[in-house]
Structure 1
Amino acid sequence: MSDEPTNKRNTRKRKKSFLKNARKYGKKGYYGRGSELDADTYQYFIRIMETYREGFANDEERSIFADNVFEQTVSKEVECSCNQVGCRVVETLLPFSNDDTLRKFMEAFSSDLRRLCGDRFASHVLEALVVQACTRSFTSSDESKSYFKEFSAKISKFLLNNLEDYVWDTYGNHIVRTCLENLVQLPKEGNKNEGRVKVEENQDIPEEYVGIVKEYGERIIVWPQFNELCSSELTSCLLQVLLKCLKKTDKKLLKKYLKKLLDEIFAPNAEENTGAGTSLSPAFLSKPVLMLLETTVQIAPPKTFTQIYAKCFKGNLPKLSKTRNTNFAVQKLIQYCTEKVEFEAMFDELSDHFAEIIEAGHTGVILALAQTCKRLCAKQGSFVQNLMKSLNCSEPEERQTNFIVSLSRFCKYGPDQPSNENLQKEKLNLHGTLILQALLDFNKPIKIVNGILGMEQTQLKDLFCNTMGSHIVDSYVKGAFVGEKSREKLVRKMMGAYREMASLKYGSRSFEAIWNAAALKAKLQIMDELCYKDGAWSNSECGKIIAAKVNLALYKRNKEEWKNSLNKVDKSALFADILK
């Protein structure tokens, strides 16, 4: 009998990719879930996905490819969309199709909307159609614009008229959200903008679209099941989208929503908290409600924001910051705070708990504090002092030189701290390095500047050649409150390390940042250093780029000509700044 594996996470099989599964089932004679496709069409779609994943030379080539594929789906638009593999192909290529193709799909879907809105595959294609119709109703020519606008309104109104059926349905709910988001052109997160034509940020939203969004808002707020909508993850997400849309279309109705949520959901019958130790708001006891609370914090006007802070957060910030599920809400609260006095109260409540929050692993709260200290120019000195203390780098004074590396790792200084020998390849803490960048933008960053300049050159070089550490240099050389002399000191300190930095991927980023900040005299010294055994670094991939940027070949051939060319570049950059 074999022993049980000690770590199931490490032995778990990786999930097979969509294409691998599709090929496997095709060999067994199963041609996708949903509607059955014939074997030739199924294999054709698999080849299409393989070709798409290989990429295209340009957008025009990709659009031609999409149009060729859609020639094969004419009169079979719904059939292909109801199949698992066909749906994936159609959904992926629709953003790159021409207007005629979109019209064919829209006409085909319009004939059987009730069934297709709830179909597990076709609903995704319908979402893609809504995205394209709404976007192109803002950007297309007059003739096409009216057609796309009509389709967008038709789908949105159909779902509105059948809201009771679709709001609780997984697929229908997602289409409702897509309609709302795209009627007002809410920006999408991450890579979801692929294939989406960019609409001007201040583009006027058609009155018809505004009216539809308002009607959704007016209907949902009076639902008898409103409380249930808040406590279900599916419907909570819909409410979050609706609130963001109302912020763009109807601030008066938005205020009604925020008041209802605060009085009935987040803090029912609660008086404003007056001190620490108060009981937690019900909002923190349910994940869907908590998600809704985070969204309201982001979009609430100042007066409502203050009420949310007082009734839901005040007196409980340390506890919420140390709890896994609720620390993100604290981050949002701090990030979206606009009143200096209010932020200072939040800071004071958390100031003695930095070490506990870091120990809990919720360093995002500390990052949010750092960024808001910078934005509101408040509590900056106290923040640095508390952070140094929490990382055991405050006293004695000589320990302060360890603060930069300790913060980059976000771990306490002590005998258990890792060696600095492999700092270049070490995975540093993202929040720690971002905080360092924020600290360099504080009004008085002297402790951070001295900490960087006090490090050994080898250690500093390794930090600057690290994937995350390389961004610290940008903040140092561009910081408005980092003095010119401090920049010059850094340029001098790194003399002797520039060849190695220039040859490395992340080091070359740091090299370029320092180079751009260096005076002419320092640049000449750097060039002399680069010329010595230049073959050792300039033949690397990154080295070639740096050699071209600093014009190494010209410098070696004629220093005076190189200086003149540098002056021309500096003057053109100066005039470019003036003409902005």
Structure 2
Amino acid sequence: MEETNNHDPPGGKYKRKRKKTFLKNARKYGKKGCYGRGSQLDAETYQYFVRIMEVYREGFENDEDKRIFVNNVFQQTESEEVKCSCNQVGCRVVEMLLPFANDLVVERYMEAFSEELRPLCADRFASHVLEALLGECCKRSLDKDKEDDIKEKFKGYTLKISKFLLNNLEDYVWDVYGNHIIRSVFRNFAQLPSEDVKQAKKKNSQDVKTESIEIPHYYAEILQEYSERLLTWPQFKELPYSELTSALLQILLRALSKCDKKTLKKYIKKILDECFCKDSEPDRYTQCLEIFMSKPATMLLETMMEIASPKHYTQIYAKCLKGNIRDLAERQSTNFAVQKLLTFSLAEGCKRFAAKQGLFVQFLATALHCESDDKQTDLLKCLCKFVNYEKLQELKIENYEKEKLNLHGTLIVQNILEFNKPIKFVNAILDMDTSDLKGLFSNTMGSHLVDSYMTSKFIGEKSREKLIRKLQGTYQDLASTKYGSRSFEAIWNACNMKFKMNIMDELVYKDAAWSNTEHGKIIASKIDLMLYKRNKEEWKNSSNNVNKLKELRRMEKLFK
């Protein structure tokens, strides 16, 4: 479940106008004499914090400048740590800079927050700082480069916060701000990445990594206590159906998938048997409706499917989906959830486990009436629209660029292109009419197919080269549109110098037609069109140097 930065519940389902940035609003309200919500700051302090955000946003020339800047800011908050943290703008500044503070500053905040821990855990603004403080303390307690006595201080504070929340679990699980801090405990102990909005949006297109990790016994014991307490809660059956508690369970399950598979199995079994598939309810279809009609429950079910072992995955399917998929798919209120679950559970699952991939494609072709070998390209098109062959013929699509494609169908194609043997879909793309292919790659959803095609480790260099050659004559059109330019970049990044120069020769011909468009200007700048027109050899040398630098950085990351 996506977590918003202010812990407020998500907005309505309809698209709203883009909100003003936090900094713009801070300036606006400061001029009106309103100095942030929460604890009141004087005008001078408030304006100081606004300027700090402005300077930080502009960036620094080097790390030393940044260090001096951060130290100076925290000097200004000395003896006012809690007051600043309880203010809307002050909280944002402290939370933003705390990861760059030295150990003495972090210790100062530890001491200040210890005195008023109970109200601060439930404070709308200070809870953010407490989350950041908890994360820093946990991280620094595990830092091998720090001295043992320093690490012990950070470890002690991490344990103090986590035990305080554990001892008051009944109060804070249902509190929007305390609940988020408990999630941070789970996330930090299991070393999970922070789940901001952008990362949440990427989940569908990324592999879910559940490799086991070892966490220190003193943190593992606390996590185990949390797990056992929640398992025995009288209200456990209610947890999946509340937004706050469902999100808490999701983070806990992800944490357990990293470090305690045994307890994870207990949770999956209990959620399935007591929350989703109650023995007292004889009608399995009614049970499924209850799950899918609840967004929190559906999100929890998705998380379970992401991290479940093949055995539990089969149980989830048997208890929550089998026999009801068609009925659920035909209901407007449950259709989207079923699409999303099937997308992950089938195509994503086949990719993740590297199992049943050929069988999946075979059944998919049968379901869409594209079984014969001469319908490979039709299967690709059917999936992009998520319709069968007969329906596709009725649609008579003339312009794939403007056609409304199906999100989950295109995601399935992306996953199949990353299967161990994606040859059928590689051929389907290569056999597609060039104008249709250009339209598909210029489509908001179709443009993502190029990423998978160009980066899949199971698609060979020759197949990539065939696509690059096939698209010759279309590169100006691709580069000039919003989504086509995405496809262009994916292709460009996979090209060797020979193909890049071929593309450049195509682009320079009457280049004003595309390079003056909004997106064409960006592409022209990235590929340095002007230098190529002026001096090809100099452009080639420059591009080779850039490629070498990229490769060096890639190698550095591999050996870190």
Same fold by TM-score greater than 0.5: yes
Alignment of 1:255-274 (within 5 A): 255-269=265-279
1:223 matched to 2:233: yes
1-structure distance, mates of 2:455, 2:124: 51
2-structure distance, mates of 1:58, 1:326: 52
1-structure distance, mates of 2:457, 2:258: 34
- Tell me the residue number matched to 1:109: 113
1:506 matched to 2:486: yes
1-structure distance, mates of 2:213, 2:15: 52
TM-score by length of 1: 0.72
**Aligned residue among 315, 321, 342 for 1:365:** 342
Checking the alignment, whether the CA contact within 8 Å between 1:499 and 1:537 is kept in structure 2 is yes
Greater shift in the superposed pair: 500-509 or 44-53: 500-509
Checking the alignment, whether the CA contact within 8 Å between 2:346 and 2:360 is kept in structure 1 is no
**Aligned residue among 240, 246, 263 for 2:256:** 246
Checking the alignment, whether the CA contact within 8 Å between 2:281 and 2:287 is kept in structure 1 is no
- Tell me the residue number matched to 1:339: none
**Aligned residue among 452, 457, 473 for 2:429:** 452
Checking the alignment, whether the CA contact within 8 Å between 2:305 and 2:345 is kept in structure 1 is no
Change (3 A) 1:367 1:146: closer
1:211 matched to 2:221: yes
1:45 matched to 2:44: no
**Aligned residue among 293, 297, 313 for 2:305:** 297
SS in structure 2 at match of 1:205: coil
Cα distance, 1:551 vs structure 2: 8.5
TM-score by length of 2: 0.74
SS in structure 1 at match of 2:274: helix
1:90 matched to 2:94: yes
- Tell me the residue number matched to 1:163: 169
Checking the alignment, whether the CA contact within 8 Å between 1:270 and 1:311 is kept in structure 2 is no
Cα distance, 1:104 vs structure 2: 0.9
Q: Which amino acid aligns with 2:78?
A: V
Cα distance, 1:542 vs structure 2: 3.2
Cα distance, 1:155 vs structure 2: 0.9
Cα distance, 1:106 vs structure 2: 0.8
Aligned sequence identity (%): 54
CA RMSD of aligned residues (A): 4.7
Cα distance, 1:556 vs structure 2: 6.5
Alignment of 1:346-495 (within 5 A): 362=339, 365-366=342-343, 368-374=345-351, 375-376=354-355, 377-386=357-366, 388-389=368-369, 394=370, 404=380, 407-408=383-384, 413=392, 419-420=398-399, 430-441=407-418, 445=422, 448-464=425-441, 469-473=446-450, 475-476=452-453, 489-495=466-472
Change (3 A) 1:110 1:278: closer
2-structure distance, mates of 1:371, 1:168: 33
Change (3 A) 1:436 1:66: same
Cα distance, 1:129 vs structure 2: 0.8
- Tell me the residue number matched to 2:523: 542
Cα distance, 1:94 vs structure 2: 1.4
Cα distance, 1:283 vs structure 2: 4.0
Q: Which amino acid aligns with 2:304?
A: T
**Aligned residue among 246, 249, 258 for 1:236:** 246
Q: Which amino acid aligns with 2:346?
A: L
Q: Unpaired segments of 5 or more residues in structure 1? A: 1-7, 194-200, 331-361
Cα distance, 1:74 vs structure 2: 0.4
Q: Which amino acid aligns with 1:308?
A: I
Larger RCO, structures 1/2 (Cα 8 Å, 6+ apart) = 2
- Tell me the residue number matched to 1:333: none
Cα distance, 1:168 vs structure 2: 2.5
1:147 matched to 2:183: no
Alignment length (residue pairs): 513
1-structure distance, mates of 2:37, 2:382: 52
1:307 matched to 2:315: yes
Q: Which amino acid aligns with 1:263?
A: D
Q: Which amino acid aligns with 1:186?
A: L
Cα distance, 1:431 vs structure 2: 3.8
- Tell me the residue number matched to 1:132: 136
SS in structure 2 at match of 1:379: helix
1-structure distance, mates of 2:525, 2:163: 59
2-structure distance, mates of 1:488, 1:192: 32
Checking the alignment, whether the CA contact within 8 Å between 2:137 and 2:155 is kept in structure 1 is yes
Q: Which amino acid aligns with 1:435?
A: I
Q: Which amino acid aligns with 1:141?
A: K
1-structure distance, mates of 2:95, 2:510: 55
- Tell me the residue number matched to 2:325: 317
Checking the alignment, whether the CA contact within 8 Å between 2:365 and 2:371 is kept in structure 1 is no
- Tell me the residue number matched to 1:355: none
Change (3 A) 1:264 1:453: closer
SS in structure 1 at match of 2:288: coil
SS in structure 1 at match of 2:92: helix
1:175 matched to 2:181: yes
